Structure 1
Amino acid sequence: MLDFYYMLYSAPCRSILMTAKALGVELNKKKVDLDAGEHLKPEFLKINPLHTIPTLVDGDFAVWESRAILIYLVEKYGKDDSLYPKDPQQKAVVNQRLFFDLGILYQSYMDYYYPQLFDEVKKPANPENFKKIDVAFGQLNTLLEGQQYAAANKLTIADVALLATVSTFEITEYDFKKFSNVVRWYENAKKVIPGWKENWEGCVYYKDLYLSDLLKKTVVKLSKVHNLKQFLGAGNFFHHTEMDLYYKPGSAPCRSVLMTAKALGVEFDKKIFLNTRGGDQFKPEYLKINPQHTIPTLNDNGFALWESRAIMVYLVEKHGQHDKLFPKDTQKQALINQRLYFDMGTLYKSLADYYYPQIFLKQAPNAESYKKIESAFEIFNALLEGQTYAAGDYSLADIALLATVSTFEVAKFDIKKYANVNKWYENAKKVTPGWDENWAGCLEFKKYFE
């Protein structure tokens, strides 16, 4: 029996419930009352030092972060690979959509609604954060153009994760009717994904528990999001036989891809973006490749993929001579995936939340955001207790985290006070191919901190 620590109102938890339903897997459900502090009890911290839900325990193996759990369930208990394909390109697109859900769509919900709902002193609605929701839905709308499903011509766990998120927006009365592709996809997803009823019950529970006061307020109507589709033409713009990598040397996510390629002996035709602040990434020819206009982006002979961690996994599975960096063992993969999501959603996010407003918006330092950096490093330090590497053996998790931590170093954050992190970092610099190029990128980015 699988022990599942959760609360029904949580969108990430609901995505696990729907996936388990689709797989015919029974879960031993254990509710964790966050408001009562049950996630901070010693017995739960022994299972998950990050004290987050959902958490899954399969025998003596524990994994958290919903999207890592989704992948683990399919790979361990799925009768086939339909929900999470084995084909490297199909899997890469599913991974990209999962990272989009975590880092863009669900993050936009948290950024706008959570300060109004959960801060000790409730904050007023921030119109700028509301615009980010519109942008996220605009991007999802573009990704769904001509598509019945989110990542392939069939149902995958990308649809399940996104359904949990979008239904949370619906219960919060965000109006996404103007995004016709999202509406079409959503209506179909509700019909074809097992467990929809329980998911919606969780949404209603969330509304009754937290949303009543918020929904009484007048919602500020903002102007429509800039429609990215006007930039997009039919067909592919590039058809290369080699792999093109669109990147910027100072970017930590870009550097993680470069180090992965170095470890694999893979070469790119590098397309450097020199002026992202000037809008290089919004040029029509680039939007045809990546409607999210982000870097890094990989173009492998007409197959376009973005989000650095999805690219890293794809490179190993498509071009690696062995699978040591991302083993086929389901438990090992689950741990690596969890660390990759930790890097994106916790550690790297804490860097961006604290430093980027100072660098790019010329804002004053925010003490609360700095505390989140310290909290992220404390968590990472705990995860590394007794470990040489981030997820067991050396893996993609170490490369992604190395790119992030090295950025903290040039930001002059004191890494040394976290003994396990510092020990891991000094070793990772020695064993990771491409460290010199990574450090050169760090030094280029350092100018922003000065």
Structure 2
Amino acid sequence: MVVKLYKTDLSPPVRAVMMACDIFKVPVEMIEVNLLEKEHLKPEYIKKNPLHSVPVLEDGDLIIHDSHAILMYLADTYGTDDSWYPKETKARTLVNQKLFFDACTLFPRLLSVVFSVVKEGQKCISQKLLDNIDEAYNFMELFLTQTTYIAGDQITIADLSAISVVTSLAIALPIDAEKYPRLLEWLNGLVNQSYCQKFNEPGVKVLRELILSNLQSYDLVHCIIVGQCVCLRCVETVVLCRSIFLFVNVTMVLKLYKTDLSPPVRAAMMGCDVFNVPVEMVEVNLMNQDHLTPEYLKKNPLHSVPVLEDGDLIIHDSHAILIYLADKYGKDDSWYPKDINARAAVNQKLFFDACYLFPRVRNVTYAIILEGQKTIAQKLLNDIDEAYGFLEQFLSKSKYIAGEQITIADLSAISDVTSMAFLLPIDAKKYPKLQAWLTELEQKPFSQKFNKPGVKALEDIVNKLLSQP
């Protein structure tokens, strides 16, 4: 059976999937989606993917609409061995967390640039966006100082995902070889691979032409940022953050570095409770900048929470943590199925949470807590309402967001949806399936114990700041 890939070459996530199809020799039919003609908004496409995004992979009755979930599926289904996506739990976890790093850190920074130039018509790239890209380069340099590739000393699907974005980021901000030698070495090694030249380079060229043609002037010298980065992400963690970590310490009890305000932390805590994980909860005081101490940065260069430490393994993304806990501590596979198709459905909803739900919570709380906004912008409320609409569509097809059985994807989503609901109450008439799902999960013991208190604390802070003159 031939797999169908709906794509447009401008998109880095699409390019990552095309490279994987080439590597794994997937029998694939590539179907161009003309975004300018709004083909992604046609009813037949919306039926395949309510998020109306690319890529979409269709393999028989399985449809996957996230590039990272697609990469995982292709490696599991078509890989001749597990070198690109290891089966060993710890090694796979390191790949997973770098996939989420790409989804939550690398790609959004590119998207911000493209949106400001192409959609908003900005004639120069703001220093803030350039600083964000430079910070992402710094994270990559730190990772690549420890290993040859971003998830270890063997190339993996995480490198495919990252290279498609980094080559696109370099359009806006060329990589400084003196500042980031490991990153540039990694980049040069991958861009010379045949799959990269065939399926990544042409799309990068088209994107470069699109961006530069929309800029009136562009001084490459201006793009080189020197000195220490004082960055958005650094303070962003004061509110909420999902991320990825490495740490060394031998102990029988796991350590979870956390702050209850954070929805990703709460999802990880619920996971620990569900799987009866022996865990020590270590509070990270963000206001005291505990996350910026050298000891913490050694564990997690992204200086975010949560971080899970299990012996010599450190994980700094809540979704990767949930996958790891389910694989290692789950009594069965009901929370994270071993069946490849069912697992792909869960994976794509984890990435939906990472890329759609959590950012919409963070955008509101960041504006109020860190920027001092006294009202919630209508645009941000509209974004939350759109997220409710996506969830309603998912839940109209199945009882839970990734199928008829509750999974770790529901744990991840409920922590965000409960945080959205006090910002924009859910209209039960408009979103009855979502309301029913929310009501059921809120009553679960793990939610009552590990989600509800953090939601209340976050709500109190937000309401207090909004009421102050």
Instruction: State the Cα distance separating 1:432 from its structure 2 match.
Output: 6.1
When structure 1 is superposed on structure 2, of 319-328 and 355-364 the one drifting more is 355-364
Task: Specify every segment of 5 or more residues in structure 1 that has no aligned partner in the other structure, as ranges.
Answer: 229-234
1:43-442 matches, cutoff 5 A? 43-119=44-120, 121-122=121-122, 125-172=125-172, 174-177=174-177, 178-192=179-193, 194-214=195-215, 216-218=217-219, 220-221=222-223, 223-224=225-226, 226=228, 238-273=249-284, 275-363=285-373, 364-392=375-403, 393-416=405-428, 417-431=430-444, 433-442=446-455
Q: Matched residue of 1:152: which SS? A: coil
Instruction: State the Cα distance separating 1:193 from its structure 2 match.
Output: 6.4
Amino acid at match of 2:406: Y
Distance in 2 (CA, whole Å) between partners of 1:346 and 1:429 is 21
**Are the structure 2 counterparts of residues 304 and 372 from structure 1 closer, same or farther at C-alpha, using a change threshold of 3 Å?**
same
Q: Matched residue of 2:31: which SS? A: strand
Distance in 2 (CA, whole Å) between partners of 1:45 and 1:350 is 21
Amino acid at match of 1:81: D
**Are the structure 2 counterparts of residues 262 and 236 from structure 1 closer, same or farther at C-alpha, using a change threshold of 3 Å?**
closer
Amino acid at match of 2:79: G
Instruction: State the Cα distance separating 1:221 from its structure 2 match.
Output: 4.3
4+ runs of 1 displaced by more than 6 Å?
A: none
Checking the alignment, whether the CA contact within 8 Å between 2:134 and 2:225 is kept in structure 1 is no
Provide the TM-score with structure 2 as the length reference.
0.89
Amino acid at match of 1:96: Q
Partner of 2:233: none
Instruction: State the Cα distance separating 1:291 from its structure 2 match.
Output: 1.4
Checking the alignment, whether the CA contact within 8 Å between 2:384 and 2:424 is kept in structure 1 is no
Instruction: State the Cα distance separating 1:18 from its structure 2 match.
Output: 0.4
When structure 1 is superposed on structure 2, of 125-134 and 47-56 the one drifting more is 125-134
Superposition CA RMSD, Å: 2.0
Distance in 1 (CA, whole Å) between partners of 2:189 and 2:175 is 18
Distance in 1 (CA, whole Å) between partners of 2:194 and 2:90 is 23
Task: Specify every segment of 5 or more residues in structure 2 that has no aligned partner in the other structure, as ranges.
Answer: 231-245, 464-469
Checking the alignment, whether the CA contact within 8 Å between 1:131 and 1:225 is kept in structure 2 is no
Deviations 1:96-127 (A, max 9, x none): 111111111111122234212223x5475332
Distance in 2 (CA, whole Å) between partners of 1:143 and 1:193 is 24
Q: Matched residue of 1:217: which SS? A: coil
Instruction: State the Cα distance separating 1:61 from its structure 2 match.
Output: 1.4
Distance in 1 (CA, whole Å) between partners of 2:316 and 2:447 is 20
**Are the structure 2 counterparts of residues 236 and 449 from structure 1 closer, same or farther at C-alpha, using a change threshold of 3 Å?**
closer
Instruction: State the Cα distance separating 1:215 from its structure 2 match.
Output: 7.3
Distance in 1 (CA, whole Å) between partners of 2:346 and 2:165 is 23
Instruction: State the Cα distance separating 1:367 from its structure 2 match.
Output: 2.3
Identity %: 28
Distance in 2 (CA, whole Å) between partners of 1:209 and 1:92 is 36
Distance in 1 (CA, whole Å) between partners of 2:415 and 2:396 is 20
Distance in 2 (CA, whole Å) between partners of 1:431 and 1:264 is 14
**Are the structure 2 counterparts of residues 124 and 413 from structure 1 closer, same or farther at C-alpha, using a change threshold of 3 Å?**
farther
**Are the structure 2 counterparts of residues 371 and 122 from structure 1 closer, same or farther at C-alpha, using a change threshold of 3 Å?**
farther
Instruction: State the Cα distance separating 1:227 from its structure 2 match.
Output: 6.9
Checking the alignment, whether the CA contact within 8 Å between 1:316 and 1:323 is kept in structure 2 is yes
**Are the structure 2 counterparts of residues 215 and 141 from structure 1 closer, same or farther at C-alpha, using a change threshold of 3 Å?**
farther
Q: Matched residue of 2:255: which SS? A: strand
Instruction: State the Cα distance separating 1:211 from its structure 2 match.
Output: 3.0
Checking the alignment, whether the CA contact within 8 Å between 2:134 and 2:229 is kept in structure 1 is no
Q: How many aligned positions are there?
A: 442
Deviations 1:72-104 (A, max 9, x none): 111111111111111111111111111111111
Distance in 1 (CA, whole Å) between partners of 2:427 and 2:460 is 19
Q: Matched residue of 1:342: which SS? A: helix
Checking the alignment, whether the CA contact within 8 Å between 2:85 and 2:95 is kept in structure 1 is yes
Distance in 2 (CA, whole Å) between partners of 1:256 and 1:415 is 24
**Are the structure 2 counterparts of residues 388 and 288 from structure 1 closer, same or farther at C-alpha, using a change threshold of 3 Å?**
same
**Are the structure 2 counterparts of residues 11 and 448 from structure 1 closer, same or farther at C-alpha, using a change threshold of 3 Å?**
same
Amino acid at match of 1:358: I
Deviations 1:401-432 (A, max 9, x none): 01111112333533534222111111222346
Checking the alignment, whether the CA contact within 8 Å between 1:258 and 1:434 is kept in structure 2 is no
Distance in 1 (CA, whole Å) between partners of 2:355 and 2:23 is 26
Provide the TM-score with structure 1 as the length reference.
0.93
Checking the alignment, whether the CA contact within 8 Å between 1:109 and 1:169 is kept in structure 2 is yes
**Are the structure 2 counterparts of residues 407 and 225 from structure 1 closer, same or farther at C-alpha, using a change threshold of 3 Å?**
farther
Q: Matched residue of 2:446: which SS? A: coil
